[in-house]
Amino acid sequence: MATISTPASISPLRQRMQHDMMMRGLLPRTQDQYIRHVRRFAAYLGRPPDTATAEDLRNFQIHQHESGASAGTINGAVSALRFLYTVTLRRRDLARGLIATRRPDKMREVLSVEEATRLLEAAPGIKYKAALGVAYGAGLRVSEVAHLKVDDIDSERMLIRVEQGKGARDRNAMLSPHLLQLLRLWWREGKRRGVMFPHGWLFPGRSYTDPISSRQLHRAVQEAAEVAGIRKRISPHTLRHSFATHLLEQDVDIRVIQVLLGHAKIDTTAVYTKVSTRTIQAVASPLDRIVALMEGKAPPG
């Protein structure tokens, strides 16, 4: 549950918005992001956001575009301000003027199986090797890896329990024998270091009372990529993309991959068909069929 500041330290409007988000079950990190976006809008406006007009919101969005804000930043602000004006202030007339922008349709970076092997081997220590192994071996998001508890590893059913993933949904992820072996190596090392406790974090941060941070995992991936000589621009999320793409190339049903990734819609999972080179290579070109017919051979496919 998110910690709510005392009334003396924040404005009544912010406190009301925090209460609204808490009652609707928004994740703590989502609440923090919404507050941050509203604070930026208030700074731009120079006065409390409950005094804004439709023209103020329009000018703010124009300012974001002209200042080169990313599509993620713009759309994050739209979500936060929509919540503020629709739920907290009950000003749907203002919320209707907010316009989300389309994200550039970029090809997702994916590691080959050989590159994923090199990356994991180059991970800085058994703790990070195990954490990145979970990201690739089970297809978890970086925040899901960071917030795993020891009790989430079910070695009897060979499952990883992911609690409150994206969209506040619980799900089960796969636990392969090799991944379980890797986690057991880390468990023994963590016990030796005195940082691993029953019911505690699977990957403790600098203090065993806190989970490892997403930033630490990002840094570990960058270090491992440099050691492994991988020149692609990658992050922990690249391992999740690679997990899905490699399963697709093994002819795993896309609906199974959807469940493993925790996607609510099949359309989200279908994006991986764009980066599966083996899927592309398996398609016979119509030109090959024509040439085969011209040469009197059976057409391919």
Please indicate, yes or no, whether residues 172 and 76 belong to a single structural domain of this protein. Answer: no
Considering the domain architecture, whether residues 89 and 175 belong to the same structural domain is answered as: no
Cβ pair 110, 238 in contact under 8 A: yes
Q: Is residue 80 domain-shared with residue 125, that is, in the same domain?
A: no
Residues 80 and 137 in one domain: no
Determine, yes or no, domain membership for 7.
Answer: no
Q: Are residues 65 and 139 located together in one domain of the fold? A: no
Q: What is the dihedral of CA 112, 118, 119, 120, to 10 degrees?
A: 110
pLDDT digits (tens, 9 = 90+) for 152-168: 999 999 999 998 655 55
Any idea which residues carry the catalytic annotation? Answer: 141, 166, 237, 240, 263, 272
Per residue in 224-257, pLDDT tens?
A: 999 999 998 899 989 988 888 888 888 888 888 8
* Among candidate residues 68, 95, 122, the one where a domain is terminated: 95
Task: Give residues with Cβ within 8 angstroms of 124, minimum separation 6.
Answer: 220, 223, 224
Averaged over 178-191, what is the pLDDT? 94
Element (H, E) at 172: strand 171-174
CB 261 within 8 A of CB 244: yes
Q: Is 100 exposed, middle or buried (0-12, 13-18, 19+ CB in 10 A)?
A: middle
What is the tens place of the pLDDT at every residue in 119-152?
999 999 999 999 999 999 889 999 999 999 999 9
Residues above pLDDT 70, as percent of the chain = 81
Distance CA 134, CA 173 (A): 10
What is the domain-level CATH number for residue 19?
A: 1.10.150.130
Predicted pLDDT at 8: 46
Evaluate if residue 4 carries a pLDDT over 90: no
Asked, for residue 231, whether it belongs to a domain, the answer is: yes
Let me know if residue 68 belongs to a domain: yes
Both 91 and 216 in one domain: the answer is no
Give the range of the structural domain holding residue 228, as residue numbers without chain letter.
Answer: 113-280
- Domain of residue 135, CATH code: 1.10.443.10
Let me know if residue 5 belongs to a domain.
no
Do 46 and 137 lie in one domain? The reply is no
Number of domains comprising the chain = 2
User: Is residue 197 in some structural domain?
Assistant: yes
* Contact present, 234 and 221 (Cβ < 8 Å): yes
Q: What is the three-state SS of 263-296?
A: CCCHHHHHHHHHCCHHHHHCCCCHHHHHHHHHCC
